[in-house]
Amino acid sequence: MSTMATPDTHRLLAATPAEHPPRLTLEQLLGLVEDAGLTGRGGAGFPTAIKVRSVAEGRRRPVLVGNAMEGEPLSKKDAVLLTRVPHLVVEGLAVVGRAIGARRLVLAIGPDVHPAAAEEAARGRGVEVARLDGGFVAGQESALVNQLGGRPAVPSDPLVRVTTRGLDGRPTLVLNAETLAQVALLARHGADWFRRVGTEEDPGTSLFSISGAVAHPGVVEAGRGTPLSRVLAPAEPDAPVAVLVGGYHGAWVPGWALDTPLTGSALKEYGATVGAGVLHVLGPNTCPIRVAADIAAYLAGESAQQCGPCLNGLPRMAEGLRRLARRAPDPGLPAEIDRMRLLVTGRGACAHPDGTARMVASTMRVFAPHVDRHLAGHCGLEGHR
Ligand code: SF4
């Protein structure tokens, strides 16, 4: 996997190991991440200070888990981080672990992340490296904690938070690998340095995994809020018709809107979020309905099969899209797909049905002309079987 930098940023990917990693108290760490406005880089974008505080105030010593599961098939950033700069992730674990008084430090890595460099970086630093089974929902916090505890890698009851009762029955803080790497740099350089890149609303840099119709797929580091076209430029996209922002649970930004800054507020118009920084480019010769149908089928197959929306709704929504992609002459298909989308939204024990519904809704909205052409039996683009 290649890596690239936009002209303004190469912070994470160029970092060398620190001779003397900083040692922060809890108050210092909280002040730093709060001043920097650091948010989680795993997808949800939750403020890191709130997550840290949620385990630090309990009576029992917590467990800290670094999440490098990379369950999203289009994401490659954890693999790049743990190959290029594993020391930064381990340093982040050490900084946060010390500040919160963690009893255990665990780095959980998925099957697509090469473990050797991470194991080498962790040696002698008090960090356990756990190589786990993968899957789309395996990186969800409670699923991850379950697998680490020897149980099936499926999400648990959302009312019992891992920050209250997680690994070993202790409060457990799960931070994404990139978030930990950002904390390591933040501890070295301070909040002012961190905020020098990005926007007031959304400071710092992020790693973006770029795939699809591009000459150079890979991982690029860019300031938050950089326009989509500029983040994509090093990968040399081929006449993008649209970009799936946020991965399989994301939403499409049309090709005519590539000057959209990658911030939460700007992307809201398209129903997208920066998420885990996944950008998939749709080229001019690929059928978007077929792409969405394949993703929906994959997601329906990846559910933990324990809640109604995943057992019944996702397969039916995926089947509707598959029939549409095959140009079934059924004018009721869009309404049926929409009915399924509404039925699954907000009904799962985790965000999997909602994320799948978001991608499907965006497909039907952004590619409405393609939907009409399919219903009329026409589609001259690639990918039909
Ligand atoms: S919503 Fe789906 S993926 Fe999430 S816990 Fe329920 S069955 Fe599993």
**CATH number for 170:** 3.40.50.11540
* Ligand 1, atom nearest to 302 Cα: 3
Rounded to whole angstroms, the Cα distance separating 5 from 373 reads: 39
Does ligand 1 come within 6 angstroms of the Cβ of 344? no
Mean pLDDT of 199-204: 90
Q: Is residue 201 part of a domain?
A: no
Mapped onto helix, strand or coil, the DSSP state of residue 59 is coil
Q: Is residue 220 part of a domain?
A: no
The answer on 50 and 167 residing in a single domain is yes
The answer on 123 and 18 residing in a single domain is yes
pLDDT beyond 60 at 363 = yes
Least confident of 89-103, 115-129, 184-198, 305-319: 305-319
Does ligand 1 come within 6 angstroms of the Cβ of 306? yes
336: Cβ contacts below 8 Å, ≥ 6 apart: 320
CA of 304 relative to ligand 1 center, distance in Å? 5
Give 6's pLDDT tier (boundaries 50, 70, 90). low
Q: Is residue 278 part of a domain?
A: no
The answer on 300 and 184 residing in a single domain is no
The answer on 183 and 307 residing in a single domain is no
Give 385's pLDDT tier (boundaries 50, 70, 90). very low
pLDDT the model gives residue 8: 54
154, 180, 195 — which closes off a domain?
Answer: 195
The pLDDT tens digits of the residues spanning 256-303 come to: 999 999 998 999 999 999 888 999 999 998 999 999 999 999 999 987
Does ligand 1 come within 6 angstroms of the Cβ of 231? no
Mean pLDDT of 105-117: 93
Does ligand 1 come within 6 angstroms of the Cβ of 355? no
The answer on 332 and 187 residing in a single domain is no
Q: Is residue 171 part of a domain?
A: yes
Mean pLDDT of 107-132: 93
Give 179's pLDDT tier (boundaries 50, 70, 90). very high
- For atom 8 of ligand 1, the residue with the nearest CA is 304
195, 213, 230 — which closes off a domain?
Answer: 195
pLDDT beyond 50 at 140 = yes
Asked if residues 206 and 43 have their Cβ atoms less than 8 Å apart, the reply is: no
Q: Which two tokens stand for residue 144?
A: 């991850």
The answer on 28 and 151 residing in a single domain is yes
Give 1's pLDDT tier (boundaries 50, 70, 90). low
Mean pLDDT for the chain overall: 91
Asked if residues 224 and 207 have their Cβ atoms less than 8 Å apart, the reply is: no
The answer on 305 and 185 residing in a single domain is no
The answer on 141 and 10 residing in a single domain is yes
Rounded to whole angstroms, the Cα distance separating 207 from 219 reads: 6
Mean pLDDT of 245-252: 95
238: Cβ contacts below 8 Å, ≥ 6 apart: 213, 214, 215, 281, 283, 284
CA of 346 relative to ligand 1 center, distance in Å? 11
Q: Is residue 225 part of a domain?
A: no
The answer on 181 and 69 residing in a single domain is yes
* DSSP collapsed to 3 states, 251-307: EEEEHHHCCCECCHHHHHHHCCCCCCCEEEEECCCECHHHHHHHHHHHHHHHCCCCC
pLDDT beyond 60 at 382 = no
pLDDT the model gives residue 118: 92
CA of 143 relative to ligand 1 center, distance in Å? 10
134, 161, 195 — which closes off a domain?
Answer: 195
The answer on 316 and 185 residing in a single domain is no
pLDDT the model gives residue 320: 95
In the chain, the percentage of residues whose pLDDT exceeds 90 is 73
Q: Which two tokens stand for residue 270?
A: 């398209």
Give 384's pLDDT tier (boundaries 50, 70, 90). very low
Q: Is residue 280 part of a domain?
A: no
In the chain, the percentage of residues whose pLDDT exceeds 70 is 96
User: How many CA atoms does the CB half-sphere of 297 hold within 13 Å?
Assistant: 13
For 347, the domain range is 288-375
Higher-confidence residue of 34 and 158: namely 34
Does ligand 1 come within 6 angstroms of the Cβ of 340? no
pLDDT the model gives residue 275: 85
Q: Is residue 230 part of a domain?
A: no
Rounded to whole angstroms, the Cα distance separating 52 from 25 reads: 12
- For atom 4 of ligand 1, the residue with the nearest CA is 350
- What residues pair up with 64 in beta bridges, in sequence order? 105, 173
pLDDT beyond 70 at 234 = yes
Helix, strand, coil abundance in the chain, percent, nearest 5: 45, 15, 40
CA of 328 relative to ligand 1 center, distance in Å? 30
The answer on 30 and 147 residing in a single domain is yes
Side chain identity at residue 353, one-letter code: P
Does ligand 1 come within 6 angstroms of the Cβ of 138? no
* Ligand 1, atom nearest to 155 Cα: 5
Give 57's pLDDT tier (boundaries 50, 70, 90). confident
CA of 305 relative to ligand 1 center, distance in Å? 6
Q: Is residue 384 part of a domain?
A: no
CA of 150 relative to ligand 1 center, distance in Å? 19
Rounded to whole angstroms, the Cα distance separating 48 from 34 reads: 8
Give 357's pLDDT tier (boundaries 50, 70, 90). very high
Does ligand 1 come within 6 angstroms of the Cβ of 11? no
Does ligand 1 come within 6 angstroms of the Cβ of 357? no
Ligand 1 pocket test: which of 137, 156, 162 has the largest number of ligand atoms within 8 Å of its C-beta? 137
Does ligand 1 come within 6 angstroms of the Cβ of 312? no
- What residues pair up with 252 in beta bridges, in sequence order? 244
Report how many domains make up the chain: 2
The pLDDT tens digits of the residues spanning 66-81 come to: 999 999 999 999 999 9
State the CATH number of the domain containing residue 367.
1.20.1440.230
The answer on 131 and 20 residing in a single domain is yes
